[in-house]
Structure 1
């Protein structure tokens, strides 16, 4: 491979060769990239055989074996893997536009996509901007391309509230509600994540996004070829990624059983552990909004939203229906909680299922490794919180440091404020440890 592809791991190169077009037009039948279902079958076969994607580059599998085991033409696999020169040229072109690439085997691949979508997580993701924004969560704001003035004004105000509460706006980047939400958040000093269905390469160079990309407040991503043109199938398919990268979703306007907004919301609500979906209320909202209430959506809280929008949304969802399991490390070690282990098989270290290991007991556990009932979780977390707040820090950054959801962190911070050991300032919201003065 050329030097321009050296930033890609060998596994990533193999996945890119198998799953991607290297031009925005049509490929020959022999070079048609694997579909998501085909790649998942191949991934299962590799795990079973204790192989990694990179092994396919060193020793391409027997064509008859693949055909019999996976119902995939082995010659097609070999043809895809032989496109090294075309891949190198494409990656160099994308790199010149500031576009990065992550594959499902990479450490940097957004954990939220794997955990929420499991086998529906795209094998390859293209992006521009700070990839770290993809794991912050936030509020997905979606709706019609032809939004009316009232809906546009509501979108603008909610996005501003997100920025003031340090909640990222997640949207699709399309004309209408998506762009109003993203640009309103960015203009107010907030952060935004855009999941594009087409034209990532063009958007990466757009003047309206350039400055906020440099400031690491905006990331644009797409599972599709960076030069691809708009098509309805891609636009519908990317909806699930918008929900996966958010903590909550807000529907500004939806038509009943029609259009991408309705399809995306109902698809999400059918998931066993779906993101809470809210709808804009009012006497003049489209009938689709009210119809979504009947299939599990919730009314969006009425303004004013002040500076605690994230906590407000947490409280607005009934606890029985509100099941969220974000990725989170133990506060007392690096082990993952057993109920939150990723089920997608491509793990960076071993390309296997994550092994389940017990969580180390926190400081204060008794001799038989049972937690001391006199020690609350807050008591154990409090020293860690104060240590991280030597200087002013935002709620999102603090949640990122501890890898906990903002709602839980908000409860701890309120207690710390009540104890007068932490101080807070607003617009934007920041926290700092309170130092005693002599």
Structure 2
């Protein structure tokens, strides 16, 4: 199902997107990602959201944004309603959907991991739900020999046999080999493209796979954008953010997108473990990544051994190498601090979207202009740093027993862990408690209606209605 453009998404597109239906020239006034980030923060501070910029009372809000972005520049961008209506019709005819951080459909993994650095807008084609499935990220160089192509296709096939999605970048070479291996084995694939989304989605080879829900293609860049080295570098973090673990099959040393993405993951982001190919002859690039903390890929040969890699690779903030990602299941869990590695920032910083972009009533572009929302009651805007009232009330009540005090302390941490599905044993490992204790806490959160137990993928996860709580 293709999401209908919400007023918030319409406003964000007007501010940041080229709005090119086929060939054309983008506006030179477009807000850069950094400029939009500053504007979004300012809107949050004045208790507004992007859709307010195209409402009947927009003039006053635009003046209030003058300290951040020139008012006349915003007016020029927001006046492109006719272009937006044309390009939306063009996208819809090709089954290309668009979501923004303001939409509930926006991938939760990206919001939780990248926070305000998650792309303001995502374009895509195919089953959007695949973006929440996690899986194995496989990346590597474009120019490789046949032996590495065959090796990578085998990795993709094994991922498919294990029921794990394959996440990659869609570039020729290693990326396409991994995706092809998974698809030929009937697996699911998430392709994160740096360019040419429309052309790729319209490719006959991909069309049936997209229609059958076997693959989803996404890009943070205009569907007609051509190749750009900077774009290719930037999209790497999305590949890692959507996955549960990762494998670098080949890489140059100190150069190239594969190297830059893996180093950023190892040194800064640390969303998932980074493994490097250990079979056959190594390379200077892989050796360099290993020195930075990447782990040798244990070369699983069957579904059970691949599952062991997923189950063992759980991040913690204190152990080395690579902050506690175990090499194999036999290594056992590492000690954890009060919060898992992905949660070391404050609760305020871990809110799903620092921009205060909330879901708005869904309207479509009509009559060459985005529909204004000024005649409607504006949705309430909750500042990011303010806890929902049920949490405030719960935390302020006196706890009668030490067990209640402890549970109150871990409740928030467990809910933050469960942005993506986790089994009870995985939660126990992350919290460094027994599996029995983890089950007790998880069942209590289920009883409270805060989390749910799902079958595919198996595990506990925060309920959609409580995701932002």
TM bracket (short chain)? 0.7 to 0.9
Deviation, 1:150, is 2.2
Structure 1 residues 273 and 174: alpha-carbon distance in aligned structure 2, compared to 1, 3 A threshold: closer
Q: Does structure 1 residue 344 correspond to structure 2 residue 354?
A: yes
Select 2:457's aligned residue among 397, 405, 424. 397
Q: Does structure 1 residue 15 correspond to structure 2 residue 12?
A: yes
Alpha-carbon distance in 2 for matches of 1:139, 1:191: 11
How is 1:224-243 mapped onto 2 (pairs within 5 angstroms)? Answer: 224-243=221-240
Alpha-carbon distance in 1 for matches of 2:214, 2:280: 35
Alpha-carbon distance in 2 for matches of 1:360, 1:180: 51
Structure 1 residues 108 and 42: alpha-carbon distance in aligned structure 2, compared to 1, 3 A threshold: same
How is 1:299-310 mapped onto 2 (pairs within 5 angstroms)? Answer: 299-310=296-307
Structure 1 residues 275 and 344: alpha-carbon distance in aligned structure 2, compared to 1, 3 A threshold: farther
Q: Is the 8 A contact 1:167 1:396 kept in 2?
A: no
Q: Is the 8 A contact 2:53 2:62 kept in 1?
A: no
Q: Deviations over 1:350-381 (max 9, x none)?
A: 363174427989xxx98773579996333576
| Alignment-derived partner of residue 296 in structure 1 | 293
Deviation, 1:226, is 0.6
| Alignment-derived partner of residue 384 in structure 2 | 353
Q: Is the 8 A contact 1:165 1:308 kept in 2?
A: no
SS at match of 1:211: helix
Alpha-carbon distance in 2 for matches of 1:207, 1:193: 18
Deviation, 1:212, is 2.1
How is 1:131-170 mapped onto 2 (pairs within 5 angstroms)? Answer: 131-170=128-167
Structure 1 residues 338 and 376: alpha-carbon distance in aligned structure 2, compared to 1, 3 A threshold: farther
TM-score (norm 1): 0.77
- Listed as ranges, the gaps of 5+ residues in structure 2 are 326-339, 360-380, 408-432, 447-452, 463-469
| Alignment-derived partner of residue 26 in structure 1 | 25
| Alignment-derived partner of residue 45 in structure 1 | 42
| Alignment-derived partner of residue 123 in structure 2 | 126
Q: Does structure 1 residue 223 correspond to structure 2 residue 220?
A: yes
| Alignment-derived partner of residue 438 in structure 2 | 377
| Alignment-derived partner of residue 182 in structure 2 | 185
Q: Is the 8 A contact 1:279 1:298 kept in 2?
A: yes
Alpha-carbon distance in 2 for matches of 1:300, 1:317: 15
Structure 1 residues 168 and 45: alpha-carbon distance in aligned structure 2, compared to 1, 3 A threshold: same
| Alignment-derived partner of residue 251 in structure 2 | 254
Structure 1 residues 394 and 165: alpha-carbon distance in aligned structure 2, compared to 1, 3 A threshold: farther
Q: Is the 8 A contact 1:114 1:344 kept in 2?
A: no
Deviation, 1:16, is 1.1
Alpha-carbon distance in 2 for matches of 1:318, 1:47: 32
Q: Is the 8 A contact 1:192 1:218 kept in 2?
A: yes
Alpha-carbon distance in 1 for matches of 2:36, 2:270: 25
Q: Is the 8 A contact 2:41 2:354 kept in 1?
A: no
Structure 1 residues 102 and 381: alpha-carbon distance in aligned structure 2, compared to 1, 3 A threshold: same
SS at match of 1:105: coil
Alpha-carbon distance in 2 for matches of 1:394, 1:168: 17
Alpha-carbon distance in 2 for matches of 1:382, 1:115: 23
Q: Is the 8 A contact 1:167 1:310 kept in 2?
A: no
Q: Does structure 1 residue 200 correspond to structure 2 residue 197?
A: yes
How is 1:309-320 mapped onto 2 (pairs within 5 angstroms)? Answer: 309-315=306-312, 320=319
Pick which of 366-375 and 310-319 moved more.
Answer: 366-375
SS at match of 1:238: helix
Alpha-carbon distance in 2 for matches of 1:205, 1:352: 41
Structure 1 residues 340 and 79: alpha-carbon distance in aligned structure 2, compared to 1, 3 A threshold: closer
Q: Is the 8 A contact 2:276 2:296 kept in 1?
A: yes
- Listed as ranges, the gaps of 5+ residues in structure 1 are 328-336, 386-392, 405-438
Q: CA RMSD in A?
A: 3.2
Structure 1 residues 6 and 232: alpha-carbon distance in aligned structure 2, compared to 1, 3 A threshold: closer
TM-score (norm 2): 0.72
Q: Deviations over 1:35-83 (max 9, x none)?
A: 111111111111111111111112135766534x21x222110011011
Q: Is the 8 A contact 1:235 1:260 kept in 2?
A: yes
Q: Deviations over 1:80-131 (max 9, x none)?
A: 1011111011001001100000001111111111222222211110001111
Deviation, 1:205, is 1.7
